[in-house]
């Protein structure tokens, strides 16, 4: 069978699958599941084009990693065929543990279990299935390989994961502020003492990359309507699970029902192999098919939330720089309770606050190192002449409240 395939990617054009093993890995059901998981969750409710998937993202990240390896080899960095295959496998599998709607439902269906933990478990299962061929990939993924730059290519502040999702999310949302010069950045990569560095000529491209990341977070990923819709989705799943644990019959696929009727946390998830097997059968379609049916559920809270989500009658979300006072929150809760005739226990499904935070650059962990023309190494904040770059390292904290539009503007 011919496994030297090419994929026509809307962002990069033709992407080559570099080997038969990588092709077999892509074809595995664990990775094919990512075709049915949206990359940016509920963002399509604000930007209708944002319907791209985790599968597209990992293929794109693999392509950029291929380009990075070619660049490093052209600069006489020795990379074996085994190392190349391993780092490509690692970037392909870095998101394999994502559940439905990516980050939105993380810790919801399974309490306290991150997608990174599930990714690690699935990599181990794949390694067994492929006769140990992923051992080096897992070693690189876990940052246990002595040549650190391989791990940094897939997980750092200047990795191919971030380069792809910024470029791809910008493309599909139509938010041009996220466009980055990924090709220029990759051409400026080098290795110094087995660590990934950026040649000084690439500083301006990385400055734009960091600014683009900041703009994309506040304009797309943390857009007030997006975070409000994601919270609605989370509350719907919590309500469905609460009802299911009480013995109520709700429509659900077998995979989703497994997580609705069982209390699963970090302890019993690891102790019970069946939980992981059921997880690999879950994707966005399980959740959406259930929500479409729950619109007609007998439970008023579940039915109302599902109707609102399906009709894009989303909760109003307000974001500001100061926390909401107890008095403000109580005022909203009273209005909602009266309008929807809710009990005290039910109000939390319609009114909720959250703290959101982001910094575009972390100066303490995996900082971006710049190789100057004299062979010296500097942090990019020191090497850059852009005064705003240090400001990007500051963590910005904002506060959000979501509540039904029907109660008017109680906070104004």
pTM: 0.95
**DSSP states of 24-54 as a string?**
HHHHSHHHHGGGGSBTTGGGGGTSTT---BH
What the chain holds in terms of domains, given with CATH numbers, is 6-221+367-394 (1.10.3210.10), 223-314 (1.20.1250.30), 315-359+396-412 (1.20.1250.30)
Interior/surface letters 263-298, b for 16+ CB within 10 angstroms, e for the rest = ebeeeebeeeeebbebbbebbbebbeebbeebbebe
DSSP helix/strand/coil, 387 = coil
The pLDDT assigned to 387 comes to: 57
The answer to whether 94 touches 141, Cβ cutoff 8 Å, is yes
pLDDT band at 1 (very low <50, low <70, confident <90, very high): low
Q: In which residue are the tokens 């220029």 written?
A: 184
Arithmetic mean of pLDDT, 251-273: 92
**How do beta strands 369-371 and 195-199 pair?**
parallel
375: its two tokens: 């062979």
Q: Is the pLDDT of residue 409 over 90?
A: no
Q: Is the pLDDT of residue 160 over 70?
A: yes
Percent of the chain with pLDDT over 70: 99
How many alpha carbons lie under 13 Å from residue 197 in its C-beta half-sphere?
22
Q: In the predicted model, what is the mean pLDDT of residues 356-361?
A: 89
Q: Does residue 98 carry a pLDDT above 70?
A: yes
The pLDDT value recorded for residue 412 is 64
């Amino acid at each position: 069978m011919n496994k030297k395939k090419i994929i026509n990617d809307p962002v990069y054009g033709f992407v080559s699958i570099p080997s038969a093993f990588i092709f077999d890995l892509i074809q595995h059901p664990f990775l094919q599941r990512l075709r049915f998981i949206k990359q940016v969750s509920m963002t399509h409710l604000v930007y209708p084009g944002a319907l791209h998937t985790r599968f597209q993202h990992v293929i794109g990240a693999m392509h950029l990693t291929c380009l990075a390896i070619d660049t490093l080899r052209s600069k006489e960095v020795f990379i074996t065929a085994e190392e190349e295959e391993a780092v490509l496998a690692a970037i392909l599998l870095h998101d394999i543990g994502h559940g439905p709607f990516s980050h939105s439902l993380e810790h919801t269906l399974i309490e306290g279990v991150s997608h990174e933990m599930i990714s690690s478990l699935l990599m181990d299962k794949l390694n067994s299935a492929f006769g140990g061929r992923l051992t080096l990939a897992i070693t690189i993924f876990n940052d246990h390989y002595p040549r650190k730059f391989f791990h940094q290519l897939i997980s750092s502040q200047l990795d191919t994961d971030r380069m792809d999702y910024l470029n791809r999310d910008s493309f599909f949302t139509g938010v041009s502020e996220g466009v980055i010069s990924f090709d220029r950045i990759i051409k400026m990569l080098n290795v110094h003492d087995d660590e990934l560095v950026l040649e000084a000529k690439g500083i301006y491209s990385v400055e734009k990359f960091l600014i683009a990341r900041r703009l994309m977070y506040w304009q797309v990923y943390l857009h007030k309507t997006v975070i409000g819709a994601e919270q609605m989705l989370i509350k719907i799943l919590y309500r469905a699970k609460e009802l299911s644990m009480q013995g109520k019959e709700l429509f659900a696929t077998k995979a989703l029902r497994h997580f609705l009727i069982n209390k699963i946390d970090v302890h019993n998830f690891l102790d019970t192999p069946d939980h992981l097997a059921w997880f690999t059968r879950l994707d966005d379609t399980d959740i959406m098919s259930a929500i479409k049916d729950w619109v007609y559920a007998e439970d008023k809270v579940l039915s109302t939330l599902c109707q609102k989500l399906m009709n894009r009658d989303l909760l109003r979300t307000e974001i500001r720089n100061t926390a909401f006072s107890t008095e403000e929150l109580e005022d909203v809760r009273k209005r909602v309770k009266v309008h929807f005739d809710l009990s005290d226990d039910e109000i939390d499904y319609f009114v909720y606050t959250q703290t959101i935070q982001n910094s575009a650059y972390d100066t303490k962990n995996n900082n971006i190192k710049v190789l100057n023309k004299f062979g010296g190494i500097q942090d990019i904040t020191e090497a850059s002449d852009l005064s705003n770059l240090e400001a990007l390292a500051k963590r910005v904290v904002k506060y959000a409240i979501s509540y039904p539009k029907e109660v008017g503007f109680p906070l104004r």
